[in-house]
Amino acid sequence: MSDRVIIFDTTLRDGEQSPGASMNAAEKMRLATQLEKLGVDVLEAGFPASSEGDLNAVSLIAGKLQKTEVAALARTSKNDIDRAWQAISHAVKPRIHTFIATSDLHLEYKLKMTREQVVEAAVEAVKYAKSFTDNVEFSAEDGSRSDRDFLCRVFEAAIAAGATTVNLPDTVGYAVPEEFADFVRYVIDHTPNIQKAVLSVHCHNDLGLATANTIAAIKAGARQAEVTINGIGERAGNTSLEEVVMALRTRSNFLAAGTGIQTEYIHPTSRLVSMITGIMVQPNKAIVGANAFAHEAGIHQDGVLKNPMTYEIMKPETIGLSANKLVLGKHSGRHALRSHLKDIGYDLSNEELDLVFGKFKELADKKKQIVDEDLEVIVTEGILRTTDIFKLEYLHVTAGTTVLPMASVKLTINGRSVQSADYGNGPIDAVYNTIAKLTGTDSELLRFSISALTGGTDAQGEVTVRLRENGLIALGKGADPDIITAGALAYINGLNRLEYLKANPIKEAADL
């Protein structure tokens, strides 16, 4: 058995199914490029049958990546498989990933199919996908709650039909490590032709066991792990790429398996995903959380100063964190900026650098020192977004203990300038009331959160909002040294994302 674990990243497909995490084509392309740099073996770019927007985004990614396999998800229907192949046919390394549920619960209540019909559907789908490419993956949705012998029978049939990877998903995060490892061993021992395919696992985190289940499965013989950056995904999310990769690296003495991931790109990639999706990483998140390498207790600090290994089982540098940072300010030039951006994961074209450099100089006039988080905001604001319908031109707010808060706002809507003013319970409420009036939108504000990107009174404030309108949910994010301006930018970003979702409706996707 190979000691190499294939890393199958599904941030752009399963991860995007996090509420409000939908990405536009430009954002997906930027992230896909970063994931290839990170060294993922397979990138699941999307579910082409779900929408025209997703098909186009997958197609763009398929034409861009040179080293990483590009996978497209498809149900066991010819139409889905046709759409998947349409999106990835020009990829250097295309993969069709087809699936159907195998648990009796799903068969009875969702599919209304018999076991025989499921086996037949799986075989027909794999054979049809095989007519386009030799690289076909088959997944048994809700596999961890399926009858073991029936699952082995389905896998045997899928492999005989041409599947080169078979995936055992813990779709609802129900499994526990010992049980899941035993299931993996059972599949290996009772699927006669399993040696002709790679056995994969795809775990969800509903009980907080996704990483533990994935590691247990690898120890038991699985050789592909399906993961997402920061563990994003539906409900409680998916297995975190960074946790699996660093567990394998740090505990190689126990696990005896490795990956091809370039770990120094883990932290920049984590930040990029957070910036694009607006989903903040909790401070105590393993590997990539802000506190992962922070020490406050005096005993810990003393130990780390004497020998970092006393309280750090990994070196920060291995995931892309460095204690030595280049200080950037208003006197820094283009070369220093380009070099530092490249170090943190942004390899920009000359045109992109020109745009970012201008924004950088504007911010440098307001702050003495520019840090990585500031640069990430500038790149996200200036490059990652597509053309917005709504843009902020002007904002003036009056507030205080003796006046009624009022906001005067000027927006560009589809290239046309409009302005108005309105009151509110506070300055943010006044701004949002005015923007809603100008845009004619009727969204509900579900969440409003503020954080400082760095320390210091001149730090950029970062605002994240979650908006809901007609059943659609979108996250908006904005940053500025002025927190009210940051709030306005976040609200406008959320409204633009809602408009994007309206224009690119997404059908219900699968949650493997």
Q: What is the pLDDT of residues 129-143, one digit of tens each?
A: 999 999 999 999 999
Q: What is the pLDDT of residue 327?
A: 57
Which amino acid is present at 385?
R
* Residues 511 and 17 sit within 8 Å (Cβ to Cβ): yes
Rounded to whole angstroms, the Cα distance separating 224 from 217 reads: 9
Phi and psi angles of residue 451, each rounded to the nearest 5 degrees, phi first: -145, 155
Stretch 37-56: mean pLDDT, rounded?
95
Rounded to whole angstroms, the Cα distance separating 238 from 385 reads: 26
Arithmetic mean of pLDDT over the chain: 90
Q: What is the pLDDT of residues 337-381, one digit of tens each?
A: 888 788 776 778 888 888 888 888 888 887 767 777 778 778 866
* Residues 424 and 430 sit within 8 Å (Cβ to Cβ): yes
Q: Is the pLDDT of residue 279 over 90?
A: no
User: How many residues comprise the chain?
Assistant: 512
CA end-to-end span of the chain: 26
Rounded to whole angstroms, the Cα distance separating 366 from 201 reads: 49
Q: Residue 404 — very low, low, confident or very high, per pLDDT cuts 50/70/90?
A: very high
Stretch 476-498: mean pLDDT, rounded?
92
* Residues 339 and 357 sit within 8 Å (Cβ to Cβ): no
More confident residue, 154 or 377: 154
Rounded to whole angstroms, the Cα distance separating 132 from 493 reads: 40
> What is the phi-psi region of residue 98: left when phi exceeds 0, alpha when psi lies from -120 to 50, beta otherwise?
beta
Q: Is the pLDDT of residue 432 over 70?
A: yes
Q: What is the pLDDT of residue 300?
A: 59
Q: Which helix (H) or strand (E) holds 224?
A: strand 224-227
Q: What is the pLDDT of residue 341?
A: 82
Q: Is the pLDDT of residue 325 over 50?
A: no
Stretch 394-400: mean pLDDT, rounded?
95
- CATH tag for 6-277 (out of 3.20.20.70, 3.60.10.10, 3.30.565.10, 3.40.50.10210): 3.20.20.70
| Least confident residue range of 57-66, 180-189, 489-498 | 489-498
| Least confident residue range of 237-251, 426-440, 489-503 | 489-503
Q: Is the pLDDT of residue 116 over 70?
A: yes
At the topology level, CATH places domain 390-503 in: Double Stranded RNA Binding Domain (3.30.160)
Q: What is the pLDDT of residue 511?
A: 67
Rounded to whole angstroms, the Cα distance separating 98 from 137 reads: 6
Strands 42-46 and 6-9, by their bridges, are parallel
Q: Which residues on adjacent β-strands are paired with residue 139?
A: 99, 167
Which among 282, 280, 294 has a CA at the least distance from the CA of 323? Answer: 294
Q: What is the pLDDT of residue 414?
A: 92
Best mean pLDDT range from 110-119, 267-276, 448-457, 470-479: 110-119
Q: What is the pLDDT of residue 324?
A: 42
